[in-house]
Amino acid sequence: MALLELKNISKSFYLNEGFWKGPLRSISALKDIDLSVEEFKTLGVVGESGSGKTTLAKIMLRLIVPTSGEVYFDPGLLPYFRRDAQIIFQNPYNSLNPKMRIIEAVAEPMLIHGIAARKEIPGRVAELLKTCGLAEDSLDRYPHEFSGGQRQRIAIARALASRPKFLILDEPVSSLDLTIQAKLVDLFLELRDKFKLTYVFISHNLALIKKTCDTVAVLRGGLLVEKGEACQVLQSPRHPYTRQLVEAAREA
Amino acid sequence: MAETEGVLKIKDLFLEFPGNAGARPVLQGVNLTLREAEALVLAGESGSGKSITALSCTANLPRNAKITSGSIIYRGQEVLKMRKEELRGIRGREIAYVFQEPAAYLNPLFTVGSQIAEAIIRHRNQPLGKALQIAEALLEQVRIPDPGRVLSSYPHQLSGGMNQRVFIAMSLAAHPKVLIADEPTTSLDATAESQILRLFTDLMQEYRFALLFITHNLSIAKRIAERVCIMFQGRVVEEGSWQEVSASPRHFHTRELMEAYEKIGRL
């Protein structure tokens, strides 16, 4: 069942180079994308930097509005969209407020969406942090006291705080060490089963995609060049660009 | 002389960051030899002391870092006893660096060409016109298509992979004997990464420099290195060829790195 469906999505950005430089120039970031996100499945989005992966993620969450095309979501599955759909960004150094203690950062979505009463907060947050593999004394500390991997765990806890059903992971591990990446990938898989989550996993690491995804979409220069079952696409890619990516990954 | 068999030799290096709560030891007896014209990969998790080891090679350390003991010999000379002027003579000229995020090291206000030219003027005493010509030739050597156009571009107009090529061109400007590359491909996507790695291998043939490549990803070791050193908590805990290290890792951290590589490092 489709949780989210993108129909004919295009997005252009306009460059204002100044009055004297002539008319506005537009850059097409995405063009005619048709894609659906199935419930309980993980969709991988791959592509080089600048291919439109993050723009796609932002459109899925309506953080930005597409130039043309429609995004449908199933209101039965995502009744409170802003609560039920969350995102985790690449850089946990930028995505956490340095002035908020961990308990505040993780409690904020719970309070906003009325998920927990104020007095339940410390217990709830502690439990969630534990689920994400953080020590119990983390509550009153600040983001700068944690390593990159731990910070990403905090970001995960915060994203899960509103009990979402749909989670977009936008390059969630690429700023981390390979050993830490491997541990976080295990955590993502564990959380997916535990909370019955649907993921969109954005990455340029094909090995990661293979490990986590059911289906995969390959973007290049804003165009969707290939989509299909992850194992099939990675095993026998049809588009020359996908083939090139697979070759680069096999070399490693 | 046994002392000078490597171009760069680090012996029993101890380094700490003094603090109010006592000194924090970062390097705890690093031993490392880089041989002439070889490719050596230094791998380890973040915080293991890889980058600080790299910076020590030209005594180019954060102000509060304190080397407590050990020695670093570059071609028979003790780096740690060099005067400022001597250090200036080897930094960039004899031992050059390439870092992880090229955009952070390139000046956004100057064209790429003028920045490469600056390195050439400084290290090779060429006039500006000649320096720009050499710069263009260097860009061609790092396989940049249309070097003339890139020469007059600003860093923000180029992609991450292109900026990294520019950075490599700049560090090769003085024909260094040693190139220290600190996670130069970590911020790049997989295709750009394999291109840059191939570029390093090619350039080593042409320029005959020794390469010290720092990474947390063992796949790099497999692809470019003759030898791998594994670093953990301020020490080199394992050393060997890729075949040796990957076939029978002895230290548990090496095993950890191998597992991560097997799991998500390759398809």
A85 in a domain, yes or no? no
Final residue of a domain: which of A164, A196, A225?
Answer: A164
d(CA A79, CA A126): 27
Q: Under an 8 A CB cutoff, do A179 and B217 touch? A: no
User: Chain B residues with CB inside 8 Å of A237's CB?
Assistant: none
Sorted by sequence, the CB contacts under 8 Å of residue B9 that are 6+ apart come out as: B3, B32, B33, B34, B72, B73, B74
Contacts of A207 in chain B (CB under 8 A): 263-267
Choose among A229, A194, A225: nearest CA to A42: A229
Do A55 and A106 fall into the same domain? Answer: no
* Residue numbers of chain B with a pLDDT score lower than 50: 1-4
Tokens read off for A128: 């969630």
* Cα(A175)–Cα(B187) distance, integer angstroms: 8
pLDDT at A21: 74
The beta-carbon neighbor of A177 closest among B45, B189, B263 is B45
Place of tokens 């805990």: B237
- The confidence band for A15, taking pLDDT boundaries of 50, 70 and 90, is confident
A237 within a domain of the structure (yes/no): yes
Three-state secondary structure readout of B121-139: HHHHCCCHHHHHHHHHHHH
- Tens of pLDDT, residue by residue over A49-75, are 788 999 999 999 999 999 999 999 999
A199 shares a domain with A157: no
Reduce the DSSP state of residue A204 to 3 states and report it. Answer: coil
Q: How, if at all, do strands B227-232 and B235-240 pair?
A: antiparallel
Strands (E), A47-165: 68-73, 85-88
Q: How far apart are the first and last CA of chain B?
A: 45
Residue B1's pLDDT is what?
A: 43
Question: End-to-end distance of chain A based on CA atoms, in angstroms?
Answer: 36
Among A138, A201, A192, which residue's Cα sits nearest to residue A173?
Answer: A201
Concatenating the DSSP letter of every residue in A59-77 gives HHTTSS--SEEEEEE-TTT
Is A86 among the domain residues?
no
Q: Which of A49, A246, A251 sits opposite B189 (nearest CB)?
A: A49
Question: What type of residue is A104?
Answer: E
Same domain, A160 and A172: no
Amino acid identity, position A24? L
* Residues A108 and A119 both lie in one domain: yes
CB–CB of A245 and B218 under 8 A?
no
Rounded to the nearest angstrom, the minimum Cα separation between A56 and chain B is: 18
Nearest residue of chain B to residue A241 (CA atoms): B191
Say yes or no: A35 and A56 in one domain: yes
pTM assigned to the model? 0.87
CATH number at residue A227: 3.40.50.300
At A155, which helix (H) or strand (E)? helix A148-160
A87's tokens: 């995102």
SS3 category, A32:
strand
Tokens linked to A46: 């791959």
Of chain A, the percentage scoring pLDDT greater than 90 comes to 83
Average pLDDT of the residues in A15-26: 76
CA A147 to chain centre: 21
Q: Where are the alpha helices (DSSP H) in B102-183?
A: 102-105, 112-124, 128-141, 147-151, 160-172
3 state DSSP class of B260: helix
Q: Are both A127 and A48 inside the same structural domain?
A: no
Q: Closest CB to A49: pick one of B159, B222, B265.
A: B159
Residue of B218, B264, B266 to mutate for A, most A C-beta atoms under 10 A: B264
- Looking at the structure of chain A, the number of domains it has is 2
* Domain shared by A207 and A230, yes or no: yes
Of B159, B189, B260, the CB nearest to A204: B189
Say yes or no to pLDDT of A17 above 80: no
The verdict on a CB contact (< 8 Å) between B267 and A48 is no
Tens-place pLDDT, residues A75-103: 999 999 999 999 999 888 889 999 999 99
Q: Where is the domain boundary, A118, A139, A164?
A: A164
A136 with A201, same domain?
Answer: no
The domain boundary residue, chosen from A121, A142, A164: A164
Q: State how far the alpha carbon of B81 is from the alpha carbons of A142, A188, B24, B57, B62, in Å.
A: 41, 50, 23, 12, 17
ipTM field: 0.82
Asked if residue A129 and residue A67 are part of one domain, the reply reads: no
Note down the domain range covering A198. Answer: 1-78+167-252
Nearest-by-CA chain B residue for A173: B264
Residues in B touching A91 (Cβ below 8 Å): none
Cβ pair A205, A252 in contact under 8 A: no
Structure-block tokens of residue A151: 């910070």
How many CB atoms neighbour CB B154 within 10 A? 14
Which of chain B's residues have a Cβ under 8 Å away from the Cβ of A248? Answer: 190-191, 193-194
Euclidean distance between CA atoms B114 and B119, whole angstroms: 9
List strands edge to edge, sheet with B235-240: B95-98, B178-182, B210-215, B39-43, B227-232, B235-240
| A84 lies in some domain | no
- Assess if residue A246 is contained within a domain: yes
Collapsing DSSP to helix, strand or coil, A164 comes out as coil
- Which residues from B are below 8 Å from A when comparing CB atoms? 45-47, 159-160, 188-194, 216-219, 222-223, 256-257, 259-261, 263-267
Rounded to whole angstroms, the Cα distance separating A65 from A45 reads 19
Same domain, A2 and A58: yes
Statement to judge: residues A69 and A175 lie in one domain = yes
**Nearest neighbour of A181 by CB, restricted to B47, B218, B260:** B260
Asked if the Cβ–Cβ distance from B267 to A204 is below 8 Å, we say: no
Going by their DSSP bridges, the two strands A166-170 and A42-46 should be labelled as unpaired
Quote the pLDDT of residue B3: 45
d(CA B35, CA B5): 7
Q: Is residue B156 within 8 Å of B102, Cβ to Cβ?
A: no
Residues A67 and A98 in one domain: no
With beta carbons less than 8 A apart as the criterion, state whether A143 and A95 touch.
no
Residue A83 inside a domain? The answer is no
Phi/psi of residue B224, each to 5°? Answer: -125, -15
Closest CB from B193, B194, B259 relative to A182:
B259
Check residue B191 and give its pLDDT. Answer: 85
Cβ neighbours of B184 (radius 10 Å): 27
CA-based nearest residue to B192, from A205, A16, A157, A196: A205
**Inter-chain CB proximity B264 and A211 less than 8 Å:** yes
Work out the minimum CA distance from B47 to partner chain A, whole angstroms: 10
Kindly identify which residue of chain A lies nearest to residue B263, measuring between CA atoms: A182
DSSP strand E in chain B: where? Answer: 8-17, 24-34, 39-43, 66-74, 77-78, 95-98, 178-182, 210-215, 227-232, 235-240
**CB-nearest partner of A49 from B160, B194, B222:** B160
Distance between B265 CA and the closest CA of chain A, angstroms: 6
